[in-house]
Amino acid sequence: MQISAAMREYLAEIYRLQQDNPTVSTTTLADRLNVSAPAVPRMLKRLKSAGYVKHVPYQGVELTELGKKEALLEIRRHRILEVFLVQIMGFTWDETHEHADDLGSGLNDVLTERMAKMTDFPTRCPHGEPIPDKQGNMPELNDFSLINLGVGQTGTISRVRTNEPEKLRYLATLKLIPGAQFEIVGRAPFNGPMRLRVEQEEIVLGMELLMSLWVTRSPKPV
């Protein structure tokens, strides 16, 4: 079966959702893709027939190895397109995801590799997410959520795990973008807000935004 742009989009979204949960429900998938609830089972039936997904009773669906490979190739196209939109076309990082979704259906491997060459073969998208290679291999990640660190610890923002434009614009005003260095200077108990120092300025973030920030910890001084 020839894989369609819609099938590729579903596979990529299932992969993204599986980063937080092993299985994906039809309701969650419909919400994320902004499609009607009846449309999802029809597409999942096609994907299952083609060997891209398998059903887990009472839980949802998960990708097969074949489905995972196709999902990662689609994610590669999407993230390279996002880099192209920022570096070549001058869009801001809060605009890229929606435009990449709109343009992605017409994107093939030839165009993707030309855009990769024009943007100096990027390894991360504008939000810091890693870009799979041409074989569909995802680089190993050694980062984790900022909420796992405590007062006095320092690190670097590695990726921002949200596509919501309002959040991205707000985080940009706080200079909380991939590559930014920070120090945790205070933290309220019971999942309260965290106080960070970024470029000599102190800012306060609530749990919702903290969960979007993934970081690497600075090495301990010898």
The dihedral over CA atoms of 199, 204, 209, 210, expressed in degrees to the nearest 10, equals: 80
Q: Which two tokens stand for residue 151?
A: 């007062």
Distance from C-alpha of 33 to C-alpha of 99, rounded to nearest angstrom: 14
Could you report the per-residue pLDDT of 158-182, keeping only the tens digit for each? Answer: 999 999 999 999 999 999 999 999 9
Could you report the per-residue pLDDT of 121-160, keeping only the tens digit for each? Answer: 999 999 999 999 999 999 988 999 999 999 999 999 999 9
Could you report the per-residue pLDDT of 74-110, keeping only the tens digit for each? Answer: 999 999 999 999 999 999 999 999 899 889 888 889 9
pLDDT at 220: 63
| pLDDT-derived band at 1, boundaries 50, 70, 90 | low
Assign domain 144-217 to its CATH architecture: Roll (2.30)
Q: What is the 8-class DSSP label of residue 124? A: B
Distance from C-alpha of 176 to C-alpha of 184, rounded to nearest angstrom: 13
pLDDT higher than threshold 50 for residue 183:
yes
CB 120 within 8 A of CB 84: no
Could you report the per-residue pLDDT of 12-64, keeping only the tens digit for each? Answer: 999 999 998 999 999 999 999 989 888 999 999 999 999 999 999 888 999 99
The pTM assigned to this predicted structure is 0.90
pLDDT higher than threshold 80 for residue 222:
no
Assign domain 1-139 to its CATH architecture: Orthogonal Bundle (1.10)
pLDDT higher than threshold 60 for residue 206:
yes
Which residue ranges make up each domain of the chain?
A: 1-139, 144-217
- The three-point CA angle 109-160-192 to 5° equals 160
